[in-house]
Structure 1
Amino acid sequence: MRRTAAAANRTGLIILGLIAGALGLTVLAIGFGLTASIDPALEAGADLGPVASVLALPYSALIAVLAALVLAVIGLRWLSAQVPRKDFAKPFRMQADARTGLTTVNAEVIAEAVAGDLESTDGVSDAQVILRGTARRPELLIHVDADERADIDAIIVETAHRAVGNASLALGAPLRAVALEIGIARTRSRRQRTVNVQ
């Protein structure tokens, strides 16, 4: 189970769509001569000499290069956000006072233990768990692959009571949030159908 950048994509696409829409409407308004009353230079058949003179200035090439670099950085940042991430929490610090000793536990270790606990449930063929948050406010993201003939209600109850309870007991703190996704697999390959439970 990996986190992707779907929300960031939607936000970025909405912003780009609004900008492109505004530019398109502006060009249409200029083409239909609706902007001539605002500025005669914006008339459809107006002379583009002032625009050409601005682009011919010595620093206009530098501005174009800087704009291209900014757009390239934004594009690379957007591409890097597309890489799916497991997004585990930082190592959990289990003691409040470091003077009495310090114990840290990797979130992956606890997540693997919870996944192993879930895989012992009847009807569950595979489980993936991500542990996020902090030691005081942990959160669990669970994906379970169940047999198509499994009792889904029983899997949900078993997950909520036993596996989540064991995780909370091991962490020594109540879980702030638990998200459960159940994949119903007709074959051994995943992604047949999914059910989300919050």
Structure 2
Amino acid sequence: MPALALSLAACALLGVLLAQSWLPFSAGFLGGAVLVLAAYWLRGHWQRVLSAPETAERCALLSVAGTLVCLAYLGAKLVQLGPDLDIHTRAARMMAGELWTLVAASVLIGWIARAPDATRDERDGMIAARALGFSSYALLALQAALVAWISLGADATRPAPSMAMLAHLFICSWMLAHVLYGLHCTWAYASMRHA
């Protein structure tokens, strides 16, 4: 588990680094290349290890990793663009293009590192259903906290966020709920292995 935590922290750090403006080339393609290369390395590693995770656990792990990169990138970019985000500016359009490239790469890595004999059974369905319930409640709590923060925290010293910023904050809450879904699945599989 410590290795997994470090790997996921590295994914979040990658997303933050990709959001920096000093990069000399496309952040989306750089992040996508890192994700794809890591997925090929993982596939080779899992082929050599007898206790490699099964298909559903691999999907959960890779989904969390890819979503963390996207979430960290989007969060760092929103901080840079500020509360008066305007989606019609060049910076916002560039952010969207890079983010869609990262999303495509995060979907692709699940296909690259999938198990060769991909199967799912009732246990996988049960774990997915429990994780979905958990992440749904987490999403409701996140969005309620976001609404409270926006409505109750407004004052004269802090500018109210634009509608585009509000929409992107809600997107971030959905992405975070998806990360929690994948972490719940990963935790369930790890618990079953240790049991």
Bin the TM-score by the shorter chain: under 0.3
- Provide TM-score, normalisation by structure 1: 0.24
More relative contact order, 1 or 2 (CA 8 Å, 6+ apart): 2
Which is strand-richer, 1 or 2?
Answer: 1
The structure number with the bigger radius of gyration is: 1
- Provide TM-score, normalisation by structure 2: 0.24
Which is helix-richer, 1 or 2?
Answer: 2
